[in-house]
Amino acid sequence: MHLMEILQRRPIPAAAVFFGITRRCPLTCRHCSTSSLMDSEEYPEELFRKFAATLTPDNRPDFVLMSGGEALLRPRLVEDIAELARAAGARSQVLSGLFFAARHERAHRIPPPLRRAIDAVDHFSASLDVFHEEEVPRAAVFRVLHEVLDTGKDVSLQITGLGDDDPYLADLTADVLGEFGDRVPMLVVPVSPLGRAHSWLVREAPLPKSAVAPAPCAVAAWPVIGFNGQVTACGNQDVMDGKVPLPAHLYMGHIARDDWSTIRGRVLESPMVRAIRATGPEYLRERYGTANGCGSPGYCESCYVLSKDPALPRAVAEAGALPTTRLIERQTENLLADAGAVSFAREYGLASYAGLVALGHAQQPARSGT
């Protein structure tokens, strides 16, 4: 399963579900958005299994995507979720920081339990960037990727960088192309000022806008199960960490109580989440808000305060009940889906590297920036 197959479905509501199966990680990367440590929180494995078992051939996402923390700290859970997903007809992916390669540069094999977990999924992604390289050498990452590629499995790299002109990114992506040709597609995204990066990454505050145009939030399409079992409409880390009080409209449920069918129904039908997907939070705030000046400027910052405005959810629900609103939502979804995976990577990642997601994929150009 190529990375493109996953990204092409990114705007489609409930086409995938993210499982954050642990917050723990033995690495201490400086940019870690989840501030993971080895004693970070973990939720009982059985609850993740129980939720995965609620996927059925008649009601399932296309993809089950697992990460952490470090997902491969729970290799048996990864294996079980992948098997439950496959039994329902869904495909799976796991993302790892390759902690097991950190101190074993000369070792030649992935440890057997982890290898079984990787064998069980349909796509294997590894993190590699200047911060991970301080913990896991690039040569060790390449060795692991070669070992997985040799089994015939599709792999990809998730790379974070400081910007399109970050020289490290130019060096790394050229090195990956030199080592693997087009066999390792890369999703290159900017570092976010979240988690451990919050203390050192300074981003310019967005300027307040005089007029706001609709700007759909495509990442509100796939529900995210946090390390604590809470399910939210997006993976905004500040929301998941509780740094920002959980906006009522982003809460989709909890895996201890809700099954996939219930979560999917909320993702598809919640008027607020539908409206955020169709027009984005800034437009909703300007169009329906009555509490002017509430909250700071910014895209997600606008989202955080939507439910605090007592009149806004009701106005959005009324508008959402109109047949024309459904039509606009469907058109937006189709436009985003037609724009394709490279367009998504350009919008949410670093634009000049967006074409790298298509490496090795038959139907898309495979050059940077295309």
**Contact residues for ligand SF4, defined by CB under 6 A:** 217, 219-220, 233-234, 236, 239, 276, 281, 299-300, 303
> What is d(CA 230, CA 32) in angstroms, rounded to the nearest whole number?
20
Shortest distance, position 273 Cβ to ligand SF4, whole Å = 7
Shortest distance, position 194 Cβ to ligand SF4, whole Å = 12
Nearer to ligand SF4, 9 or 24 (CB): 9
Nearer to ligand SF4, 173 or 302 (CB): 302
Shortest distance, position 286 Cβ to ligand SF4, whole Å = 14
Nearer to ligand SF4, 63 or 283 (CB): 283
Nearer to ligand SF4, 62 or 301 (CB): 301
Shortest distance, position 110 Cβ to ligand SF4, whole Å = 34
Shortest distance, position 22 Cβ to ligand SF4, whole Å = 22
Nearer to ligand SF4, 184 or 303 (CB): 303
Nearer to ligand SF4, 185 or 216 (CB): 216
Nearer to ligand SF4, 111 or 214 (CB): 214
Shortest distance, position 143 Cβ to ligand SF4, whole Å = 35
By C-alpha distance, which of 142, 128, 189, 183 is closest to 163?
189
Shortest distance, position 78 Cβ to ligand SF4, whole Å = 26
By C-alpha distance, which of 286, 289, 293 is closest to 309?
289
Could you write out the three-class secondary structure of the chain? CCHHHHHHCCCCCCCEEEEECCCCCCCCCCCCCCCCCCCCCCCCHHHHHHHHCCCECCECCCEEEEECCCHHHCHHHHHHHHHHHHHHCCEEEEEECCHHHCCCCCCCCCCHHHHHHHHHCCEEEEECCCCHHHCCCHHHHHHHHHHHHCCCCEEEEEEEECCCCCHHHHHHHHHHHHHHCCCCCEEEEECCCCHHHHHCCCCCCCCCCCCCCCCCCHHHCCCEECCCCEEECCCCHHHHCCCCCCCHHHEEEECCCCCHHHHHHHHHHCHHHHHHHHHCHHHHHHHHCCCCCCCCCCHHHHHHHHHHCCCHHHHHHHHHCCHHHHHHHHHHHHHHHHHHHHHHHHHHCCHHHHHHHHCCCCCCCCCCCC
Nearer to ligand SF4, 181 or 208 (CB): 208
Nearer to ligand SF4, 281 or 360 (CB): 281
Shortest distance, position 197 Cβ to ligand SF4, whole Å = 17
What interhelical angle do 271-279 and 312-320 show, nearest 10? 80
